[in-house]
A = this chain, B = another copy of it.
Amino acid sequence: MRYRVGLETRTRILEATRDLVAAQGLEKTTIKAICEKAGILVGSFYNLFESKEEAILTVVADAIRAVGPEDEEATLHELVDAYVDFVEKSETTARVYLMVAVSGGLTDEGIRARMLRHHERRIELFGRALRTARPDMPEEEVRQRVEGLLAALNGMAFHRLLDPSFDFRSYARALLQIGA
């Protein structure tokens, strides 16, 4: 991939993969379908990616990266709002992210490992914000509350994708009354 056309093809492949994964899930997404959607033939795919797994892992990694700005100084409220923004503004990417977050990448070890690392980072990020707001709270309780908050947020985000009329932002903010 040293020429301009190669990079364009790569982009089209990743977009096609993202859309298909969001619509049908990880397992049902085939090379054939990706290539058709990207307007190429299989040979071109394998010129740019080692395997189907590599393309999917790239899409998943991009989705994880798109979730958060990782601002270490952000308040809980800002973090929750940023997550709501992500889900509402990048529905397709959010769908990929949630599918993996929730199934944990049941079979693929690469995806699973990446998502676990991401989850730990999120707990740290939200934990730091909660500790700042509530310096008196015991460390163990901080972690449990953050885990509960993140889990509830993910559940609501999924519902938001199924039902766009759901007022995700309000309920996400309401969760903070428990979480903090």
* B175 close to A103 (CB less than 8 A): no
Interface stretch of the complex, out of A51-59, A60-68, A129-137, A163-171: A163-171
Q: How far is the CA of A99 from the CA of B98 in the complex (A)?
A: 12
Q: List CB contacts (< 8 Å) of A132-180 with chain B.
A: 144, 147-148, 150-156, 158-160, 162-163, 166-167, 171, 174-175, 177-178
Does residue A109 face the partner (Cβ distance < 8 Å to B)? Answer: no
Q: How far is the CA of A177 from the CA of B179 in the complex (A)?
A: 12
* A102 close to B175 (CB less than 8 A): no
Interface stretch of the complex, out of A10-18, A24-32, A39-47, A70-78: A24-32
At the interface, is chain A mostly helix, strand, loop or mixed? Answer: helix
* B28 close to A106 (CB less than 8 A): yes
* A166 close to B152 (CB less than 8 A): no
Within 8 Å CB of A27, what residues of B?
25-28
Given contacts A102-B102, A155-B158, A156-B152, whether A166 and B178 have CB atoms under 8 Å apart is no
Which chain A residues have a beta carbon within 8 Å of chain B's beta carbons?
23-28, 98-99, 102-104, 106-107, 144, 147-148, 150-156, 158-160, 162-163, 166-167, 171, 174-175, 177-178
Q: Which 6 A-B pairs have the closest CB atoms?
A: A155-B155, A27-B27, A151-B159, A152-B152, A148-B171, A151-B156
